[in-house]
Amino acid sequence: MERRQFLGYTAAAGAALMLHPFESFAFTGDAKLRLAQVGTGHRGSGFWGRDLLKAFGEKIEFVGLSDINPGRLAYAKSVYEVNCPTFSNFDEMLRQTKPDYVIVTTVDATHDEFIVKALEAGCNVITEKPMTTDEVKCKRILDAEKKTGKKVVVAFNYRHSVHAMQLKELLAADRVGKITSVDFNWYLNVYHGADYFRRWHGRMARSGSLWVHKATHHFDLLNWWLNSEPVEVMAYGKLEHYGKNNAFRGTTCRSCEHKKECKFYWDITKDERLTNLYVKNEQHDGYVRDGCVWSNEIDIYDKMSAQIIYANGVTANYSLTTYSPYEGWQIAFNGMKGRIETWEDIPYLQKMQDDQSKRHAIEMSTADDAIAGEVREIMVMDNFEKNYEIFTTPKIKGGHGGGDIRMQRRMFVDKNDNPHNVMAGTREGAMSILIGIAARKSIKENRPVKISELTDLVPMANRF
């Protein structure tokens, strides 16, 4: 076995700069990029608000903030410590503030409305994933971008993690020959996984299900790593743990009479930020953040698996679990000459044990420091060889493996830093959600679904 340490991505990887979706914006002189934001919830007011200003306040300014919940909006403004106007009406914000970029951080099923309106008002857009939740909305976005000539960046932060980038390096270098199949499994633990069932994510009409809300990340990684686009999906899924699958239920954890017997009881009031964001503002819109994971209204799947056929011939096997004792993932790429394997946070494979109840908070933090003595490992095995190589990369403490801060740096500072076309636009946004949308349809109709049934986009064997 031979150990190698990655130092960074290769110079060749940085050459493909032309396709950076941000190229339409010129960072000139001292002028700050004028941003408006819609959706000042957790992700909006944290990563795309307070943290963004803290890290890049020299480059950007907020000219307007908008949300349907006036309490959450006021709270966000106080956290940002800005003077810009706030709006309950998005159209009014666009009219009055005329921003360069609109940041969309609302509930998934509403993204399309704001993306399209912003483009039509002459703004560029940064949208959180998933780009949207169904194929009709997806087409509206693609058409609006084409018509207006403005650009949408889809914030696929995972791509920018140090680990994901190093894996991309090995695949782009054809280290084990042509890849023919992939095994990819993602495990959400009983804390983070359960959290999706406490609020709007548990409703198909709001999140498009975890096939779209969560798996868009994973499908985007697959598409990017393979440098190819999907053509067909066959999927299975069931709701057999959360939702209706329990003898008792309540409305919120706070008000529940089953606190003592429920393993999923969670006291939101112990978290000051979440209390300020949600609990104190329930009276405005009835949005409860600590809803019951056993609610009968939950209509998404909690176990999912799919086979995806790619335009370059690769077959990918994917699964997502939402009630695992630990949070982590593993992937293997089978090539004609060997195999590449890697994983994150599988307890029996790593030296230090994580506190599973803290995993989500770590994931959302923007800490960018490496954990001393801890590395991620990528195993590369050649057929017929006894020895194998282990490539190591630093393990970054928070923020989606360092992806969060690196993505924002590439957006607002190192505009020419686009290794392996890591910056994602609407085509990437579309191709990742279309896998999830096809999976939903496949389950419903019990048949393989072609991507061409959902879009006019013709899947490319080689994206770049």
Binding site for ligand NAD (CB under 6 A): 38-44, 67-69, 72, 105-108, 110, 128-129, 155, 157, 213, 400
Q: Which is nearer to ligand NAD, 159 or 175 (CB)?
A: 159
Q: How far is CA 464 from the centre of its chain?
A: 22
> Are 175 and 319 a contacting pair, CB within 8 Å?
no
Determine how β-strand 370-382 pairs with β-strand 338-344.
Answer: antiparallel
To the nearest whole angstrom, how small is the minimum distance from the Cβ of residue 435 to ligand NAD? 16
Residue owning tokens 């993306």? 115
CA distance 312 to 180: 9
Which strand (E) or helix (H) includes residue 136? helix 135-148
Sign of the C-alpha dihedral, residues 443, 447, 452, 454? Answer: negative
To the nearest whole angstrom, how small is the minimum distance from the Cβ of residue 162 to ligand NAD? 16
> Are 329 and 343 a contacting pair, CB within 8 Å?
yes
To the nearest whole angstrom, how small is the minimum distance from the Cβ of residue 77 to ligand NAD? 12
CA distance 341 to 299: 34
Q: Which is nearer to ligand NAD, 159 or 339 (CB)?
A: 159
To the nearest whole angstrom, how small is the minimum distance from the Cβ of residue 353 to ligand NAD? 24
To the nearest whole angstrom, how small is the minimum distance from the Cβ of residue 367 to ligand NAD? 15
CA distance 179 to 254: 50
To the nearest whole angstrom, how small is the minimum distance from the Cβ of residue 227 to ligand NAD? 22
To the nearest whole angstrom, how small is the minimum distance from the Cβ of residue 181 to ligand NAD? 27
CA distance 214 to 319: 12
Phi, psi of 426 (to 5 degrees): -70, -30
To the nearest whole angstrom, how small is the minimum distance from the Cβ of residue 407 to ligand NAD? 9
Q: Which is nearer to ligand NAD, 175 or 203 (CB)?
A: 203
* Token digits of residue 302: 């909690």
- The residue nearest ligand NAD at its CB is 41
Q: Which is nearer to ligand NAD, 115 or 375 (CB)?
A: 115
Q: Which is nearer to ligand NAD, 317 or 365 (CB)?
A: 365
Q: Which is nearer to ligand NAD, 63 or 340 (CB)?
A: 63
Phi-psi region of 400 (alpha: psi -120 to 50; beta: other; left: phi over 0): left
Q: Which is nearer to ligand NAD, 230 or 403 (CB)?
A: 403
Residue (of 74, 45, 93) closest to 102 by Cα position: 93
Q: Which is nearer to ligand NAD, 14 or 85 (CB)?
A: 85
